[in-house]
Chains A and B, each alone.
Chain A
Amino acid sequence: MTEHLLSLMTFFPILGLLVILFIPKENEGLLKGFALVVTLITFVISLPLAFNDSFKTSAAMHYKEFAQWITIGDYFQMNYHVGVDGISLWLVLLTTFIMPIAILSTWKAVDKNVKAFMALCLLLETAMLGAFVSLDLFLFYIFWELMLIPMYFLIGIWGGGNRIYAAVKFFIYTAVGSLLMLVAIIFIYYYGVRSGVALNGFNITEFYQMGIPPHIQTWLFLAFAFSFAIKVPMFPLHTWLPDAHTEAPTAGSVILAAILLKMGTYGYVRFAMPLFPDATQQFIPFLSVLAVIGIIYGALVAMMQDDVKKLVAYSSVSHLGFVMLGIFALNMQGMAGGMIQMVNHGISTGALFLIVGFIYERRHTREIKEFGGLAKTMPIFATIFMIITFSSIGLPGTNGFVGEFLILMGAFQSELRWFAVFATTGVIFAAVYMLWMFQRVMFGEVKNPANEKLKDLSAREIVMMLPLLLFVFWIGLYPNTFFEKMNPSMQQLLDQVKGQQQVAVVEKVEPRQLHGH
């Protein structure tokens, strides 16, 4: 069982998809229920990962599976090669965790072509999980591209008014980036072949040790970095994100924000940085500038939005700027902050999109000025919204604080000190735009008569939010559960990126010190 755990988890949604194809499309309740059950079972399958304690001591890949897939004489070998380590662990679990919630959010929101919607969601889940567990670059690329197709249709068919523009823009932006990455992938392979490295497929652990000369690394890094920067998205490649988010249906936005954006940051951590350490060092100042611009620019633009969903979308640009800054600090604090902030952003921004979905389903508008005083009519909603807002701002006690604090601490201790100074203003701006929005939507008198009779959250909606709230506080109060399983892998990653000699100089960070705030 455990030796095929990852395959079972990755392809279980596809099995569900095959069954869904035979459910008549009129039977919408059954379709939704079945998709929910499939995603829940997938989550259960993935649970053993969370309880495996060997992640605490070993940076190695766990649950490895290997099978020869395409072998063409002496041309090529591509393998089915998957595994999980501390870096992908929580992202995999985040994916299986968010998917049932996203499916639940469609209960009332999706009423046309339910069958196609569910089928695409399940296909998307397989693609995302596959991308996170791939240890073969070619396999990763297949899953990476496969993610595009369902998301394109989710935005294009079930999206808002400007959905076609948003869907096409999303597809073309991401595909352009990944095509250049493909060239780089093939190039690395041939570089390995030419320099006589014994390659067993597009195995990334072998690619790590290839020792590509710096001048070649520069170009390869640029191809990878460009592709991932689009996905993150980093300023100035972020313009597809607000469009895609605003037009996507709630479930689409949740998946996009919570998981798909992590593909970009994960790509940096797993591929771009350890594969090309010299180029990474070379480009960190440049990329950090972009990250900081993203933090401040995203926050400022978010502040000026009239549409709640657009505000949340731009806040993602800002939050992911933080993640990038933490990763580029190249020390344990920054890396830990960046990694945990990926999960945090998935939880709190996912929750924010759900919240936007709640009020949109009730009022069919997302304009901030249409609301006001909702706290009186919807007290439960107000409480939950409040907590999530705090989490997004990074109030101590919530998950956002842990991530942002570690990122800024890491950046201050590294060469990125001045970047951290500017980035800190982003935290302040975040408080401004979130609290201002919250105040305008929730407090004051109910001026708009349409808001007077709004129903508070239903049991289903509360059920969706509770698990998210649980993790807001869990990560906020006892993040060690999560860090202790990431530490060995992060340490190994930093060693790879910085090279052994430099690591010796860097002071060793005690786990206690890391989490003791």
Chain B
Amino acid sequence: MDNTLVQLAMQSVNFGAIMPSLVLVCFGMFLLLVNVFSPRGKTTHVAWISIIALVISGIVSLSAWTPAGTPAGAGNTQFGFAGAVALDNFATFFNITFLLAAGLTILMSDEYLKREGYPIGEYYPLILFTTAGAMWMASGIDLMTIFLGLEVLSISLYVLAGFFRGQVRSNEAGLKYFLLGAFSTAFLLYGIALLYGVAGTTNVAEMGLYFAKNSAILGNPMTIAGMLLLATGFLFKIAAVPFHMWTPDVYQGAPTPVTAFMSAGPKAAAFAAFIRVFVFGLAGLQAEWTSLLWVLAVLTMTVGNLMAIYQTNIKRMLAYSSIAHAGYAMVGMVAANEIGLSGILFYMLAYTFMNLGAFAILVLAGREGEENLTLEGFAGFGFKRPFLGIAMTIFLFSLMGIPPTAGFAGKFYIFAGALKAGYVWLVVIGVLNSALSLYYYLRVMVTMYFREPSEDFAWVKMHAGAVVSIVLAIIGVFYMGIIPGAVMEMAKLAIF
């Protein structure tokens, strides 16, 4: 090969731009090797090494943060791979969200896997790979990078969802997720192909410039079709109606910590790519995609909440509620202004804390085989297990959006963004949906506190990892709820 070409290619590689994910991938592969030489059933050290990996990756990510007031061009943003990857504030903010989601998940997983009889070390590298995939989605400014990230993320998740290979439910979850996921990825890829055909590039930034110059081509059916197909791929990942059908079964069947992780990390990753591609690459089509998302946001919120009301299994209920929460975040997409978009970033982080916290309690409260995650199984739980009861109450209030919690602050910013952009009715529908959601969240509290305990919950063993993740989540929920200024300021810097 021509020597100068190689040199040119090497110049633009810049591993700094993918360093956070590189750390995770290297540790992941190292851990796969460690597993080979570890005795069967011993996984605790793997969990701890992966926590170390996450911390290192977090430090590397934060070093790329550009604080406010930095003159243009002097920031820490890193570009690499011929402009296919950018480690900017936007990516950093999301990276931190992914890392927190992964960290909380790993903390609650170790004892859980042992209890359920699957102490298999490969679990942790898979979470690291998923996180790395999510990071590529957030930092990709080329559709191909985003696609690559999506695939890495998805394939690891398919395995994780079906991780309990002896359980029918888990197998069903894995297979269902895989089939539907693969199908939706094809849509995404088709969309990329069509847009490449129109714009002659897969780079989001160049695409944006191209459309700005040749706005006539925006009305071309091929552009519209490409946009729609791309949206389908992303909407599938964020589980928006009508692409939500897989969610309840997959969420219920997958191991509880994996469900927790899926509801926060990959969803945030999908939003990251969605924002990057649509707001920056397809800004010219904003009128089209906002009207589409307006309708879908309303449907997603309403269907998610209505279906959640009918659930008797808490895990499944949280699955439907996560659909509704994706709907709230989509309201921020519709607003497509600074407050709405940074509201999404804030909300994803808030949702990570509150939802993972709630799932950590389910992890602890579940019996082997997870047969007792029904609503009735929680009767009197609050008084028998005061700490877990109060923690669950805090997370549920945050999910409802009651102040002073992170959930309230997040919804506030998103709805404020939409109001600023003039979408009054969308916001009214949004808050009415919040009111709808009160019913099923309150029902959990009703069984926890207002019903007489039927059991003594003696089997609930407080293990350190899960307790730490619950405490961290509580701190997160209150910090972002009472003094949200700092995080919101960061979210704001991340948008531009």
Contact = CB atoms under 8 A, between A and B. Distances in A.
A190 B419 contact: yes
B419 A146 contact: no
Interface string B416-459: 10011000100110011011001100110110011100000000
Contacts of A156: 445-446, 449-450
Interface stretch (B8-16, B465-473, B481-489): B481-489
A488 to B, nearest CB: 33
Contact of A163 (B432, B434, B450, B483): B450
Tell me whether chain B's interface is mostly helix, strand or loop, or mixed: helix
A180 B420 contact: no
Given A70-B483, A176-B435, A187-B424, A148 B402 contact: yes
A75 B343 CA distance: 11
A154 to B, nearest CB: 11
Contact of A157 (B403, B450, B484, B485): B450
B450 A167 contact: yes
Interface in A96-150: 113, 141-142, 145-146, 148-149
Interface in A138-174: 141-142, 145-146, 148-149, 152-153, 156-157, 163-164, 167-168, 171-172
A186 B492 CA distance: 19
Contacts of B483: 69-70
A237 to B, nearest CB: 14
B397 interface: yes
A153 B438 CA distance: 14
A73 B492 contact: yes
B436 to A, nearest CB: 9
A180 B431 contact: yes
A180 B442 CA distance: 19
Interface string A212-225: 00000000000000
A152 B382 CA distance: 15
A175 interface: yes
Nearest to B484: A70
A11 interface: no
B416 A186 contact: yes
Contacts of A463: none
A172 B438 contact: yes
Contacts of A70: 483-485, 488
Contacts of A190: 416, 419-420
Given A179-B431, A179-B435, A183-B424, A145 B442 contact: no
Interface in B378-421: 383, 397, 402-404, 408, 412-413, 415-416, 419-420
Interface in B338-354: 338-339
Contact of A168 (B427, B435, B442, B492): B442
Contact of B415 (A142, A153, A183): A183
B354 to A, nearest CB: 16
Contacts of A146: 402-404
Contacts of A175: 402, 435, 438
Contact of B428 (A171, A183, A189): A183
Nearest to B401: A179
Given A167-B450, A171-B438, A142 B427 contact: no
A179 B402 contact: no
B496 to A, nearest CB: 11
B465 to A, nearest CB: 25
A175 to B, nearest CB: 6
A72 B342 CA distance: 11
A280 to B, nearest CB: 21
Contacts of A71: 485
A7 to B, nearest CB: 15
B428 A180 contact: yes
A76 interface: yes
Interface in B80-110: none
Contacts of A187: 419, 424
Contacts of A186: 412, 415-416, 419, 427
A182 interface: yes
A142 B403 contact: yes
Interface string A442-473: 00000000000000000000000000000000
A167 B431 contact: no
Contacts of B413: 75
B424 to A, nearest CB: 7
Given A72-B489, A168-B439, A180-B428, A149 B397 contact: yes
Contact of A171 (B408, B442, B484): B442
Given A73-B492, A75-B492, A183-B415, A164 B450 contact: yes
Nearest to A189: B416
B446 A168 contact: yes
Given A142-B403, A146-B404, A149-B402, A183 B431 contact: yes
Nearest to A191: B419
Nearest to B417: A75
B338 A75 contact: yes
A67 to B, nearest CB: 12
Contacts of B446: 156, 164, 167-168
Contacts of A113: 383
A73 B402 contact: no
B402 A157 contact: no
Most buried by B among A142, A152, A172, A179: A179
B350 to A, nearest CB: 14
A322 to B, nearest CB: 30
Contact of B432 (A69, A153, A168, A179): A179
Interface in B268-286: none
B402 A183 contact: no
B109 to A, nearest CB: 30
A142 B449 contact: no
A463 to B, nearest CB: 32
A142 B420 CA distance: 21
A142 B412 CA distance: 12
B403 A141 contact: yes
A75 to B, nearest CB: 5
Interface of A: 69-73, 75-76, 113, 141-142, 145-146, 148-149, 152-153, 156-157, 163-164, 167-168, 171-172, 175-176, 179-180, 182-183, 186-187, 189-190
Interface of B: 338-339, 383, 397, 402-404, 408, 412-413, 415-416, 419-420, 424, 427-428, 431-432, 434-435, 438-439, 442-443, 445-446, 449-451, 483-485, 488-489, 492
Task: State the 3 A-B residue pairs at the shortest beta-carbon distance, nearest first.
Answer: A179-B431, A142-B403, A176-B435
10 contacts: A113-B383, A142-B404, A145-B408, A156-B450, A157-B450, A168-B439, A182-B431, A183-B428, A186-B427, A189-B416
